[in-house]
């Protein structure tokens, strides 16, 4: 229970205790009035001998009335103060929820922004490496030594760019002729990728300034690991307007890199036990999750206040708070319609 919730709870407890005690006081004063009435009746029966007793009875009756008046006034004052205290506590809780929601939204925005900036670099890498002399020569010539050198060249790139699983060069028929890690992924060279979306989109690019990006998938030839694939056409002479002679596909190590992003969201130790950070694609498919559950299998439905909402937050019926943000893109990378989502429960295990 938060401090704000504790304030509201305490104000309710104070009201309950006060009402119970006031009822007890009223019950006692009622008994006093009855006793005073009985005393007056007995005093009247006693005649002159009961005059003094009647005076005392009247005083008791007067005191009971004054106590009743004080009790009523206290009840009104307490009720007003407790009502105000409840309102203050409720307002504080609303403000707290608002601040919490805004924070979750901001964390989601930061998370998807990191991904966008990262993938923007991938879009730059593939266009740059497609102009590499070794890559171009491997496709312009059937010389096996040049293809072997291209594989070596891709291997050098991979040693510097550790975020990739592999880089492939495919000819116009879709045959993979070079790979940066032929010893690790031996099935790559010689395989045919003509039916793969990344290859088809690459050879269909209008110029060397364009590239293709695919949604996250599992790559069987890369030990069934999760990949984000970027590709572009390789062109004669490495020129942006050159004739297409093949394609370069680069396979971003999505599983490892995405896990690092969703697990690096800045949460307190208490929040970590209650929070799930996710990335979902445009179809709502979970493509990364800090708890490792449902990846590439489950979907998450975002409850938007409007169809055009890009970043917002809301609270579910069970009290779970959700902040989300749609990919804004970065520089020349428009994004793929993905979302960053931070889901925070009220209680552990909820």
Across the chain, which has 350 residues, the per-10-residue mean pLDDT values are 60 69 72 68 69 64 71 71 69 73 93 94 96 96 93 96 96 97 96 98 96 96 97 96 97 96 92 94 96 96 87 90 93 91 81
pLDDT at 242: 96
pLDDT at 41: 75
pLDDT at 319: 86
Q: Please tell me the pTM assigned to this model.
A: 0.75
In the chain, residues under CATH classification 1.10.287.950 are: 3-96
Chain-centre distance for alpha carbon 272:
12
Instruction: Return all residues near 313 (Cβ < 8 A) that are at least 6 apart.
Output: 101, 102, 104, 105, 321, 322, 323, 324
**Closest by CA position to 250, among listed 171, 154, 175, 330:** 154
The CATH number for 3-96, chosen from 1.10.287.950, 3.40.640.10, 2.60.40.10, 1.10.15.40, is 1.10.287.950
pLDDT at 102: 92
In the chain, residues under CATH classification 3.30.450.20 are: 130-257
pLDDT at 251: 98
Q: Rounded to whole angstroms, how far apart are CA atoms 45 and 49?
A: 9
pLDDT at 236: 96
Strand duo 275-280 + 311-315: pairing: unpaired
Q: If you classify domain 130-257 with CATH, what class do you get? A: alpha beta
Instruction: Return all residues near 321 (Cβ < 8 A) that are at least 6 apart.
Output: 97, 100, 101, 104, 313, 314, 315, 343, 344
């Amino acid at each position: 229970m938060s401090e704000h919730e504790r304030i509201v709870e305490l104000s309710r407890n104070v009201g309950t205790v006060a009402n119970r005690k006031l009822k007890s006081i009223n019950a006692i004063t009622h008994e006093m009035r009855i006793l005073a009435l009985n005393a007056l009746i007995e005093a009247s029966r006693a005649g002159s001998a009961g005059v003094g007793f009647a005076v005392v009875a009247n005083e008791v009756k007067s005191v009971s009335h004054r106590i009743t008046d004080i009790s009523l006034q206290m009840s009104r004052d307490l009720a007003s103060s407790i009502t105000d205290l409840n309102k203050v506590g409720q307002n504080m809780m609303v403000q707290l929820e608002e601040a919490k929601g805004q924070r979750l939204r901001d964390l989601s925005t930061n998370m998807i922004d990191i991904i966008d900036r990262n993938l923007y670099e991938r879009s730059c890498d593939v266009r740059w490496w497609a102009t590499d002399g070794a890559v171009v020569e491997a496709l312009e010539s059937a010389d096996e030594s040049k293809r072997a050198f291209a594989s070596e060249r891709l291997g050098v790139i991979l040693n510097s760019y550790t975020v990739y699983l592999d880089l492939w060069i495919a000819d116009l028929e879709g045959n993979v002729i070079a790979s940066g890690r032929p010893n690790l992924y031996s099935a790559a060279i010689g395989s045919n990728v003509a039916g793969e979306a990344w290859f088809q989109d690459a050879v269909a690019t209008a110029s060397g300034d364009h590239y293709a990006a695919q949604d996250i998938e599992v790559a069987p030839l890369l030990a069934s690991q999760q990949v984000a694939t970027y590709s572009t056409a390789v062109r004669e002479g490495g020129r942006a307007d050159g004739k297409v002679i093949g394609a370069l596909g680069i396979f971003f190590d999505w599983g490892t890199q995405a896990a690092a992003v969703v697990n690096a969201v800045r949460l307190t130790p208490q929040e970590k036990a209650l929070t799930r950070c996710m990335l979902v694609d445009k179809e709502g498919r979970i493509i990364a999750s800090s708890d490792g559950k449902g990846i590439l299998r489950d979907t998450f439905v975002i409850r938007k206040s409007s169809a055009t909402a890009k970043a917002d937050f809301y609270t579910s019926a069970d009290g779970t708070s959700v902040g989300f943000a749609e990919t804004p893109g970065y520089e020349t990378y428009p994004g793929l319609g993905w979302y960053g989502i931070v889901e925070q429960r009220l209680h552990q295990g909820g």
